[in-house]
Amino acid sequence: MNALSLVPLVLAFAPPEPPTQVDRGLHGYISYDASHPPDVAEYGLGMGFYSAAWSLIDGPLADFQIGLASGWILPDNRDNTDRPLAPEGTLARQWKERGPTWDSVFQTIEGGLGYWRGNRFRYGPPKFSMNATPQCYDYEVGSPGWSFFYDTEALPDHRLGIAQLSNRLLIPPDALPFAEEPKGRFLGYTYMALPFTDPVPGSGERAPTGDQAWTCFLATANFKGPIAYYIPETWSKIGDVFAYPFLHGRGLDSRAGLMGGGAMEINTVPQLVGTARDGKRYSKIPRFSFPVDRNGRAVLVQDVTYYSRKALYDAFLAWRGGGDAPSGRFDPAGAFVAKLSTRTPGFDQDGLPIEGVSTTFDTQVFDDNTWGLVWKAGGHAPRGEFPQYFRHEDGKRVAVAEKDVPKETGLRTATFRVTTPGEPFTSPSAGAWTTPGAKAGPFRARLVDGSLVTYSWYRFVDQPSFQQYQWSNDKKEALQSFVERIHRAWPIDRDYMAPPTSGKLVTLDPALIVTPPRGLEVGYVPIVTRQEKAP
């Protein structure tokens, strides 16, 4: 037998190629619906809930993005049925399927708990981030200086939109980490529309601006209260940018908010693909673990609540006008606790539907009006885990147990790429960041995610986000004086949201909680100016 005759035999027994990592490993939504109050517009000045925080994955993976249970708030434009809210030239206007009004992509408040592909400093557990889209997804505003992880350079001065309110909490651009493994403990957060300033009437072609400053309140074990708000002009100026008067009065500065429910959004998940000796292909996604109790339940959301003016707006306005300071607790007389319902989720891989997940777990509303997942016997993954392996078939992917994946694919032992710290988040050394500039600093804090945060103390109205507006001295001083009263009256250890019906609260990284320097105890806020890998 000559050497050439051995070639087919060698090829027949050649081992399969090792698994390769590619994208599009999983996409879908795990969703719930929340009942609307009797008068949606009346209860459109606040929305909040408690969301479970836990380590969904085993470590900091590269090219990975999944949001834990969160919601979307839109301005109430239900009176418009045919005119575009997205002007020509905006990114969202290209999404024809959102027409004819584009109301779902005009303006949103999003964010929440999750893992985002653009995070520069991953550490295992999820983080919390604010986020909003004020101009049809042309840009997003995720912190007092930066976008939603899209760039490490700060937003241009004219696109800054968040005013830091808390004088006790740092808000780093890579989001807020937790002190420890959260293990299904709950983070409470509410966006409440509050009147920090008076409405500004329009003049000629100039857009009017409402008084609604959507303010983010947190409820954790070591911090409670408001952290920051979206300046009302953030929403109204789109009408001026595009010279489009139809948008006047249609933004979140003046319209009630709508939130119909929420979801876990599965966005960017890698997959490993391998081939068995018989030519069949299989894929593997990262292991997703959920915080299940002894009954096989993973409670993800509770206490979804809508708020009217009576909850805080009226008392807040009276206080600004010279009245007594309210406690800040949301008045239950202005609260509507929603009844939850659920949807059976659907998933795809490579754009193809996945079969077999529904035999492993399903969504459920439990007897205490909490929402989450429940595991079934005989599924394709252990209790508390998402199916990890899939067999490729014509036009679909089929979930299979690990034992049913041929060893020669290499998938059982293959691992996913982990991430490394990214480039620093930086701020300009000119413009709004330096004029008028900080009063004290820089100071530094080392966070649990392995990053080093640099921050300085700014007088509230001197922080960068306000410098794009030509406000009168009287308006600025009135706002400054009011914020000083807030700093004196509202501590970080008082309940503002009602406590969760069940479960414990998560703990923020203690390094985020700071104490103002002597002489700057009220009226000054810590503005992060840089975040980088800690030495």
Q: Which of 292, 304, 261 is nearest to 372 (CA)?
A: 292
Cis ω for the linkage preceding 232 (within 30 of 0):
no
* 411: in domain: no
Distance between CA atoms of 240 and 101, rounded to whole angstroms? 19
223-242 mean pLDDT: 98
Instruction: Give the other-Cβ count within 10 Å of 60's Cβ.
Output: 19
pTM of the model: 0.95
15 in a structural domain: no
| DSSP SS3 for 336 | strand
**Looking at the predicted structure, is the pLDDT value of residue 43 above 80?**
yes
pLDDT in tens, 268-321: 999 999 999 999 999 999 999 999 988 889 999 999 999 999 999 999 999 999
Give me the chain's average pLDDT, please.
95
Asked if residue 124 belongs to a domain, the reply is yes
C-alpha to C-alpha distance for 269 and 279, rounded to whole angstroms: 25
Tokens of 126: 């999820």
Mean pLDDT of 71-100: 97
**Range of weakest confidence among 138-142, 334-338, 356-360, 508-512:** 356-360
What is the enclosing helix (H) or strand (E) of 474?
helix 473-489
What is the C-alpha separation between 108 and 34, in angstroms, rounded? 18
Considering the domain boundaries, does residue 16 fall inside one? no
Angle at 249 between CA 105 and CA 314, to 5 degrees: 105
Give the angle 48-169-300 at the CA atoms, nearest 5°. Answer: 35
**Exposure class string for 181-202: b at 16+ Cβ within 10 A, else e:** ebebbbbbbbbbbbbbbebbeb
- Residue 531 in tokens: 């975040």
Q: Looking at the domain assignment, is residue 366 inside a domain?
A: no
- Phi, psi angle pair for 40, to nearest 5°: -60, -40
Compute the average pLDDT of residues 414-419.
Answer: 96
Q: What is the pLDDT of residue 377?
A: 87
pLDDT for 512: 98
Do residues 221 and 506 touch, judged by C-beta distance below 8 A?
yes
Rounded to the nearest 5 degrees, what angle is found at the Cα of 188, between the Cα atoms of 445 and 288?
Answer: 85
Residue 426 has pLDDT above 90, yes or no: yes
Total number of domains constituting the chain? 1
Tell me phi and psi for residue 94, to 5 degrees.
-75, -15
Q: What is the pLDDT of residues 479-511, one digit of tens each?
A: 999 999 999 999 999 999 999 999 999 999 999
User: Residue 3: is its pLDDT beyond 70?
Assistant: no
- Would you say 122 and 101 are in contact if contact means Cβ atoms under 8 Å apart? no
The pLDDT assigned to 14 comes to: 59
| Residue 1 in this model has a pLDDT that exceeds 50 | no
Looking at the predicted structure, is the pLDDT value of residue 9 above 80? no
Cα 207 from Cα 192, distance rounded (Å): 23
Residue 518 Cα to chain centre, angstroms = 34
Determine, yes or no, domain membership for 465. Answer: yes
In the chain, the percentage of residues whose pLDDT exceeds 90 is 93
Residue 93: predicted pLDDT: 98
Instruction: Give the angle subtended at the CA of 66 by the CAs of 445 and 386, to the nearest 5°.
Output: 125
| Residue 208 C-alpha from the chain's centroid | 29
Q: Phi and psi of 275, rounded to 5°?
A: -120, 135
d(CA 423, CA 432): 23
pLDDT, tens digit (0-9, with 9 covering 90-100), for 373-410: 999 988 899 999 999 999 999 999 999 999 999 999 99
Q: Under DSSP, is residue 408 helix (H, G, I), strand (E, B) or coil? A: helix
How far apart (Å, rounded) are the C-alpha atoms in residues 27 and 351? 8
CB of 297 closer than 8 Å to CB of 372: yes
Residue pLDDT, tens place only, 427-456: 999 999 999 999 999 999 999 999 999 999
Instruction: Write out the residue range of the structural domain in which residue 516 sits.
Output: 22-265+303-336+421-533
Mean pLDDT confidence for 24-39 = 95
Q: 455 in a domain, yes or no?
A: yes
Q: What is the DSSP letter of 35?
A: P
* Residue 148 placed within a domain: yes
Could you give the 3-state DSSP secondary structure of residue 289? strand
pLDDT at 4 over 80: no
